[in-house]
A = this chain, B = another copy of it.
Protein backbone atom coordinates (compact mmCIF):
# COMPACT_ATOMS: atom_id res chain seq x y z
CA UNK A 1 0.00 0.00 0.00
CA UNK A 2 1.32 3.46 -0.89
CA UNK A 3 1.71 6.11 1.82
CA UNK A 4 -1.13 8.59 2.17
CA UNK A 5 -0.53 11.74 0.17
CA UNK A 6 -2.07 14.18 2.67
CA UNK A 7 -1.16 14.58 6.33
CA UNK A 8 -3.98 16.87 7.43
CA UNK A 9 -7.22 18.12 5.90
CA UNK A 10 -8.47 21.14 7.88
CA UNK A 11 -12.13 22.16 7.72
CA UNK A 12 -13.12 25.55 9.05
CA UNK A 13 -14.36 29.08 8.58
CA UNK A 14 -12.41 30.86 5.83
CA UNK A 15 -11.80 34.29 7.34
CA UNK A 16 -9.60 37.30 6.85
CA UNK A 17 -8.46 38.78 10.15
CA UNK A 18 -8.76 42.53 10.60
CA UNK A 19 -6.29 43.20 13.41
CA UNK A 20 -6.18 46.41 15.39
CA UNK A 21 -4.52 47.43 18.62
CA UNK A 22 -6.78 48.87 21.28
CA UNK A 23 -7.20 49.20 25.04
CA UNK A 24 -9.51 47.68 27.63
CA UNK A 25 -11.63 50.81 27.78
CA UNK A 26 -12.59 50.30 24.12
CA UNK A 27 -13.60 46.67 24.82
CA UNK A 28 -15.77 47.80 27.72
CA UNK A 29 -17.34 50.70 25.84
CA UNK A 30 -18.31 48.34 23.01
CA UNK A 31 -19.35 45.42 25.22
CA UNK A 32 -16.79 43.02 23.73
CA UNK A 33 -16.08 39.66 25.42
CA UNK A 34 -12.38 39.87 26.16
CA UNK A 35 -10.28 36.90 25.09
CA UNK A 36 -13.02 35.01 23.29
CA UNK A 37 -14.87 34.89 19.98
CA UNK A 38 -18.24 36.53 19.48
CA UNK A 39 -20.28 36.05 16.34
CA UNK A 40 -21.62 39.32 14.96
CA UNK A 41 -24.02 40.23 12.18
CA UNK A 42 -23.30 42.60 9.31
CA UNK A 43 -24.81 45.63 11.05
CA UNK A 44 -22.68 45.15 14.15
CA UNK A 45 -19.65 44.51 11.93
CA UNK A 46 -20.08 47.91 10.28
CA UNK A 47 -20.67 49.64 13.62
CA UNK A 48 -17.58 48.11 15.20
CA UNK A 49 -15.38 48.72 12.16
CA UNK A 50 -16.39 52.40 12.14
CA UNK A 51 -15.42 52.71 15.79
CA UNK A 52 -12.10 50.87 15.75
CA UNK A 53 -8.65 52.18 14.83
CA UNK A 54 -6.55 51.55 11.72
CA UNK A 55 -6.13 47.85 11.01
CA UNK A 56 -3.99 45.33 9.24
CA UNK A 57 -5.57 42.56 7.17
CA UNK A 58 -4.07 39.07 7.36
CA UNK A 59 -5.58 35.78 6.29
CA UNK A 60 -6.79 33.77 9.25
CA UNK A 61 -9.50 31.36 10.35
CA UNK A 62 -8.66 28.74 12.94
CA UNK A 63 -8.35 25.61 10.78
CA UNK A 64 -6.80 27.68 7.98
CA UNK A 65 -4.07 28.78 10.37
CA UNK A 66 -3.55 25.16 11.40
CA UNK A 67 -3.26 24.02 7.78
CA UNK A 68 -0.76 26.83 7.09
CA UNK A 69 1.23 25.70 10.13
CA UNK A 70 1.34 22.08 8.97
CA UNK A 71 2.58 23.24 5.55
CA UNK A 72 5.21 25.50 7.12
CA UNK A 73 6.46 22.48 9.07
CA UNK A 74 6.91 20.63 5.80
CA UNK A 75 3.73 18.58 6.02
CA UNK A 76 1.11 18.16 3.30
CA UNK A 77 -2.05 20.06 4.19
CA UNK A 78 -5.35 20.81 2.52
CA UNK A 79 -7.97 23.33 3.63
CA UNK A 80 -11.71 23.19 3.02
CA UNK A 81 -13.75 26.35 3.61
CA UNK A 82 -15.88 28.94 1.86
CA UNK A 83 -15.05 32.41 0.59
CA UNK A 84 -16.86 34.58 -1.92
CA UNK A 85 -15.44 35.69 -5.27
CA UNK A 86 -14.51 39.11 -3.89
CA UNK A 87 -11.26 40.90 -2.95
CA UNK A 88 -11.03 39.40 0.53
CA UNK A 89 -11.72 35.97 -0.96
CA UNK A 90 -8.87 36.51 -3.40
CA UNK A 91 -6.59 37.51 -0.53
CA UNK A 92 -7.55 34.45 1.52
CA UNK A 93 -7.04 32.13 -1.44
CA UNK A 94 -3.68 33.62 -2.37
CA UNK A 95 -2.29 33.51 1.15
CA UNK A 96 -3.25 29.95 1.99
CA UNK A 97 -2.00 28.61 -1.35
CA UNK A 98 1.20 30.63 -1.05
CA UNK A 99 1.99 28.79 2.21
CA UNK A 100 1.77 25.51 0.28
CA UNK A 101 -1.70 24.45 1.42
CA UNK A 102 -4.07 22.93 -1.13
CA UNK A 103 -7.31 24.94 -1.30
CA UNK A 104 -9.88 24.18 -3.98
CA UNK A 105 -13.29 24.70 -2.36
CA UNK A 106 -15.35 26.55 -4.99
CA UNK A 107 -15.85 30.24 -4.17
CA UNK A 108 -19.44 31.38 -3.62
CA UNK A 109 -20.63 33.52 -6.53
CA UNK A 110 -23.55 35.05 -4.70
CA UNK A 111 -24.69 35.70 -1.14
CA UNK A 112 -22.72 37.31 1.66
CA UNK A 113 -19.16 38.61 1.28
CA UNK A 114 -16.07 36.75 2.45
CA UNK A 115 -16.10 36.45 6.24
CA UNK A 116 -13.82 38.44 8.48
CA UNK A 117 -12.89 38.53 12.11
CA UNK A 118 -12.24 41.91 13.70
CA UNK A 119 -9.57 41.10 16.26
CA UNK A 120 -8.83 43.65 18.94
CA UNK A 121 -5.47 43.17 20.58
CA UNK A 122 -5.00 44.78 24.01
CA UNK A 123 -1.61 45.72 25.51
CA UNK A 124 -1.56 42.41 27.44
CA UNK A 125 -1.49 40.62 24.01
CA UNK A 126 -4.99 39.15 24.58
CA UNK A 127 -7.15 38.97 21.46
CA UNK A 128 -10.89 39.54 21.41
CA UNK A 129 -12.49 38.32 18.21
CA UNK A 130 -15.65 39.66 16.60
CA UNK A 131 -16.48 37.44 13.68
CA UNK A 132 -18.80 38.15 10.79
CA UNK A 133 -18.98 34.75 9.12
CA UNK A 134 -20.27 35.98 5.75
CA UNK A 135 -19.75 33.40 3.01
CA UNK A 136 -18.20 30.94 5.48
CA UNK A 137 -21.65 29.78 6.67
CA UNK A 138 -22.42 28.55 3.15
CA UNK A 139 -19.92 25.72 3.58
CA UNK A 140 -21.84 22.47 3.39
CA UNK A 141 -21.62 18.71 2.80
CA UNK A 142 -21.11 19.19 -0.96
CA UNK A 143 -17.90 21.08 -0.25
CA UNK A 144 -16.34 18.08 1.50
CA UNK A 145 -13.87 16.73 -1.04
CA UNK A 146 -14.21 12.98 -0.58
CA UNK A 147 -10.94 12.00 -2.21
CA UNK A 148 -8.99 14.45 -0.08
CA UNK A 149 -10.61 13.39 3.21
CA UNK A 150 -10.11 9.72 2.39
CA UNK A 151 -6.44 10.35 1.51
CA UNK A 152 -5.66 12.37 4.64
CA UNK A 153 -4.19 10.78 7.74
CA UNK A 154 -6.18 13.20 9.87
CA UNK A 155 -9.26 15.27 9.14
CA UNK A 156 -9.24 18.23 11.52
CA UNK A 157 -12.32 20.34 12.16
CA UNK A 158 -12.83 23.52 14.15
CA UNK A 159 -15.66 23.60 16.67
CA UNK A 160 -16.47 27.14 15.55
CA UNK A 161 -18.31 25.61 12.60
CA UNK A 162 -20.85 24.09 14.99
CA UNK A 163 -22.82 27.33 14.77
CA UNK A 164 -23.71 26.59 11.14
CA UNK A 165 -26.17 23.72 10.50
CA UNK A 166 -24.83 23.01 7.02
CA UNK A 167 -21.24 22.96 8.26
CA UNK A 168 -22.28 20.60 11.07
CA UNK A 169 -23.73 18.29 8.41
CA UNK A 170 -20.44 18.57 6.54
CA UNK A 171 -18.61 17.54 9.73
CA UNK A 172 -20.65 14.39 10.06
CA UNK A 173 -20.06 13.55 6.41
CA UNK A 174 -16.31 14.16 6.70
CA UNK A 175 -16.06 12.11 9.90
CA UNK A 176 -17.90 9.24 8.24
CA UNK A 177 -15.67 9.33 5.17
CA UNK A 178 -12.48 9.52 7.22
CA UNK A 179 -13.36 6.62 9.46
CA UNK A 180 -14.64 4.62 6.50
CA UNK A 181 -11.16 4.97 4.99
CA UNK A 182 -9.46 4.01 8.25
CA UNK A 183 -8.31 7.58 8.96
CA UNK A 184 -8.40 9.69 12.11
CA UNK A 185 -10.84 12.48 12.98
CA UNK A 186 -9.76 15.43 15.07
CA UNK A 187 -11.71 18.35 16.57
CA UNK A 188 -10.81 21.53 18.40
CA UNK A 189 -13.39 22.84 20.86
CA UNK A 190 -12.38 26.34 19.69
CA UNK A 191 -13.99 28.59 22.27
CA UNK A 192 -15.43 28.45 25.82
CA UNK A 193 -18.66 30.19 24.82
CA UNK A 194 -19.14 27.72 21.99
CA UNK A 195 -18.63 24.84 24.42
CA UNK A 196 -21.24 26.42 26.66
CA UNK A 197 -23.73 26.68 23.80
CA UNK A 198 -23.39 23.08 22.59
CA UNK A 199 -22.04 21.13 25.56
CA UNK A 200 -24.11 17.96 25.21
CA UNK A 201 -24.01 17.86 21.41
CA UNK A 202 -20.24 18.27 21.42
CA UNK A 203 -19.76 15.53 24.03
CA UNK A 204 -21.84 13.17 21.95
CA UNK A 205 -20.02 14.09 18.74
CA UNK A 206 -16.64 13.54 20.38
CA UNK A 207 -17.68 10.19 21.87
CA UNK A 208 -19.01 8.88 18.58
CA UNK A 209 -16.80 10.43 15.95
CA UNK A 210 -13.60 12.02 17.22
CA UNK A 211 -10.21 10.41 17.84
CA UNK A 212 -8.09 13.44 18.73
CA UNK A 213 -9.47 16.41 20.67
CA UNK A 214 -7.81 19.80 21.18
CA UNK A 215 -9.07 22.07 23.95
CA UNK A 216 -7.71 24.71 26.25
CA UNK A 217 -8.20 24.62 30.00
CA UNK A 218 -11.34 26.77 30.05
CA UNK A 219 -12.96 24.80 27.23
CA UNK A 220 -12.31 21.35 28.68
CA UNK A 221 -13.45 22.41 32.16
CA UNK A 222 -16.58 23.91 30.61
CA UNK A 223 -17.37 20.76 28.66
CA UNK A 224 -17.65 18.73 31.85
CA UNK A 225 -18.58 21.52 34.28
CA UNK A 226 -15.43 20.33 36.03
CA UNK A 227 -14.22 22.10 39.18
CA UNK A 228 -10.59 22.04 38.06
CA UNK A 229 -8.27 21.05 35.23
CA UNK A 230 -7.39 17.64 36.66
CA UNK A 231 -11.03 16.66 37.03
CA UNK A 232 -11.70 17.67 33.42
CA UNK A 233 -8.66 15.72 32.25
CA UNK A 234 -9.90 12.57 33.99
CA UNK A 235 -13.28 12.90 32.25
CA UNK A 236 -11.73 13.63 28.87
CA UNK A 237 -9.48 10.57 28.82
CA UNK A 238 -12.54 8.33 28.62
CA UNK A 239 -14.09 10.23 25.71
CA UNK A 240 -11.47 9.97 22.95
CA UNK A 241 -8.18 8.29 21.99
CA UNK A 242 -6.01 11.34 22.38
CA UNK A 243 -6.66 14.68 24.07
CA UNK A 244 -4.22 17.57 23.71
CA UNK A 245 -5.09 20.07 26.41
CA UNK A 246 -3.38 23.46 26.27
CA UNK A 247 -2.82 25.75 29.26
CA UNK A 248 -1.17 28.91 27.84
CA UNK A 249 2.08 29.65 29.68
CA UNK A 250 1.69 26.44 31.72
CA UNK A 251 2.23 24.38 28.57
CA UNK A 252 0.09 21.42 27.56
CA UNK A 253 -0.95 17.98 28.73
CA UNK A 254 -1.33 15.12 26.27
CA UNK A 255 -3.53 12.24 27.41
CA UNK A 256 -4.05 8.93 25.67
CA UNK A 257 -5.55 6.17 27.78
CA UNK A 258 -3.06 5.52 30.57
CA UNK A 259 -0.36 7.59 28.86
CA UNK A 260 0.01 11.18 30.08
CA UNK A 261 2.68 13.68 28.94
CA UNK A 262 3.27 17.12 30.38
CA UNK A 263 4.80 19.49 27.80
CA UNK A 264 6.29 22.80 28.88
CA UNK A 265 5.51 25.96 26.97
CA UNK A 266 8.33 27.01 24.63
CA UNK A 267 10.08 30.25 25.57
CA UNK A 268 8.90 33.48 23.89
CA UNK A 269 11.01 36.67 24.06
CA UNK A 270 7.89 38.87 24.05
CA UNK A 271 4.24 37.88 23.72
CA UNK A 272 2.84 40.33 21.13
CA UNK A 273 -0.49 38.85 20.03
CA UNK A 274 -1.89 35.52 21.19
CA UNK A 275 -4.09 35.11 18.08
CA UNK A 276 -3.45 31.66 16.60
CA UNK A 277 -1.71 30.12 19.62
CA UNK A 278 -4.12 27.18 19.81
CA UNK A 279 -4.25 26.82 16.03
CA UNK A 280 -0.48 26.51 15.76
CA UNK A 281 -0.23 24.14 18.72
CA UNK A 282 -2.67 21.91 16.82
CA UNK A 283 -0.59 22.31 13.65
CA UNK A 284 2.58 21.19 15.39
CA UNK A 285 0.92 18.30 17.19
CA UNK A 286 -0.83 17.01 14.06
CA UNK A 287 2.30 17.39 11.97
CA UNK A 288 4.12 15.39 14.62
CA UNK A 289 1.76 12.45 14.87
CA UNK A 290 1.33 12.23 11.08
CA UNK A 291 5.09 12.27 10.56
CA UNK A 292 6.20 9.57 12.93
CA UNK A 293 6.81 11.52 16.12
CA UNK A 294 5.56 10.23 19.46
CA UNK A 295 2.94 12.04 21.55
CA UNK A 296 5.46 13.93 23.68
CA UNK A 297 7.58 15.17 20.77
CA UNK A 298 4.45 16.07 18.85
CA UNK A 299 3.41 18.18 21.83
CA UNK A 300 6.82 19.85 21.85
CA UNK A 301 6.49 20.70 18.14
CA UNK A 302 3.10 22.19 18.95
CA UNK A 303 4.58 24.28 21.74
CA UNK A 304 7.38 25.61 19.50
CA UNK A 305 4.94 26.48 16.69
CA UNK A 306 2.62 28.24 19.17
CA UNK A 307 5.52 30.22 20.62
CA UNK A 308 6.47 31.48 17.14
CA UNK A 309 2.98 32.72 16.31
CA UNK A 310 2.43 34.65 19.55
CA UNK A 311 5.71 36.52 19.12
CA UNK A 312 4.26 38.67 16.31
CA UNK A 313 1.01 40.17 15.04
CA UNK A 314 -1.08 37.72 12.98
CA UNK A 315 -2.12 34.11 13.35
CA UNK A 316 0.06 32.42 10.76
CA UNK A 317 3.76 31.63 11.10
CA UNK A 318 6.25 34.19 9.80
CA UNK A 319 9.28 31.95 10.15
CA UNK A 320 9.78 28.67 8.35
CA UNK A 321 8.63 26.29 11.07
CA UNK A 322 10.49 23.31 9.62
CA UNK A 323 13.78 25.17 10.16
CA UNK A 324 12.69 26.34 13.59
CA UNK A 325 11.84 22.80 14.67
CA UNK A 326 15.06 21.39 13.23
CA UNK A 327 16.96 23.94 15.29
CA UNK A 328 15.15 23.15 18.52
CA UNK A 329 14.21 19.51 18.18
CA UNK A 330 16.73 18.09 15.70
CA UNK A 331 15.76 17.08 12.15
CA UNK A 332 12.52 15.14 11.75
CA UNK A 333 14.08 11.97 10.37
CA UNK A 334 16.44 11.57 13.32
CA UNK A 335 13.62 12.02 15.81
CA UNK A 336 11.07 9.71 14.30
CA UNK A 337 9.73 7.12 16.70
State the A residues within 8 Å of B (CB).
Answer: 21, 49-50, 52-59, 68, 86-88, 91, 94-96, 98-99, 113-114, 314, 316, 318
Main secondary structure of the interface of A (DSSP, over half): mixed
Does B58 lie within 8 Å of A95, measured CB to CB? no
| Residue contact A55 to B95, C-beta cutoff 8 Å | yes
State whether A98 and B57 are in contact (beta carbons under 8 Å apart), knowing that A87-B88, A88-B87 are contacts in the complex.
no
Q: Which residues of B contact A49 (CB under 8 A)?
A: 94
Most buried by B among A52, A68, A86, A88: A88
Say how far A92's CB is from chain B's closest CB, in angstroms.
10
Are B94 and A57 in contact, CB atoms less than 8 angstroms apart? no
Q: How far is the CB of A81 from chain B (nearest CB, A)?
A: 16
Question: Taking A87-B87, A94-B49, A113-B87 as contacts, is the C-beta distance between A99 and B316 under 8 angstroms?
Answer: no
Closest 10 pairs between A and B when the two form their complex, measured CB to CB: A57-B57, A87-B87, A54-B95, A54-B98, A53-B98, A56-B58, A87-B88, A54-B99, A56-B56, A86-B87
Which residues from B are CB-within-8-Å of A316? 54
* A95: chain B residues within 8 A (beta carbon): 54-55
Contact of B57 with A91 in the complex, beta carbons under 8 Å: yes
Inter-subunit contact B98/A52 (CB<8 Å)? yes
Closest to A58 in B: B56
A321–chain B nearest beta-carbon distance, Å = 13
Cα A272 to Cα B59 in complex, Å, equals 21
**For residue A58, which residues in chain B have a CB less than 8 angstroms away from its CB?**
56-57
Closest B residue to A88 by CB, please name it: B87
Given known contacts A50-B94, A87-B88, A88-B87, A56 and B314 CB-to-CB distance under 8 angstroms = yes
Tell me the bound Cα distance from A96 to B55 in angstroms.
Answer: 10
A53 to B96, CA, bound (A): 9
Chain B nearest Cβ from A316, distance in angstroms: 7
Residues of B within 8 A of A98 (CB): 52-55
Between A and B, 28 residue pairs with Cβ closer than 8 Å are A21-B318, A49-B94, A50-B94, A52-B98, A53-B98, A53-B99, A54-B59, A54-B68, A54-B94, A54-B95, A54-B96, A54-B99, A54-B316, A55-B91, A55-B94, A55-B98, A56-B56, A56-B57, A56-B58, A56-B314, A57-B57, A57-B58, A57-B91, A86-B86, A87-B87, A87-B88, A87-B113, A87-B114
Chain B residue with Cβ nearest A317: B54
Distance of A51 from chain B, by nearest CB (Å): 9
Extra inter-chain contacts (17) besides given A54-B59, A54-B94, CB under 8 Å: A49-B94, A50-B94, A53-B99, A54-B68, A54-B95, A54-B96, A54-B316, A55-B91, A55-B94, A55-B95, A55-B98, A57-B57, A57-B58, A57-B91, A86-B87, A87-B88, A87-B114
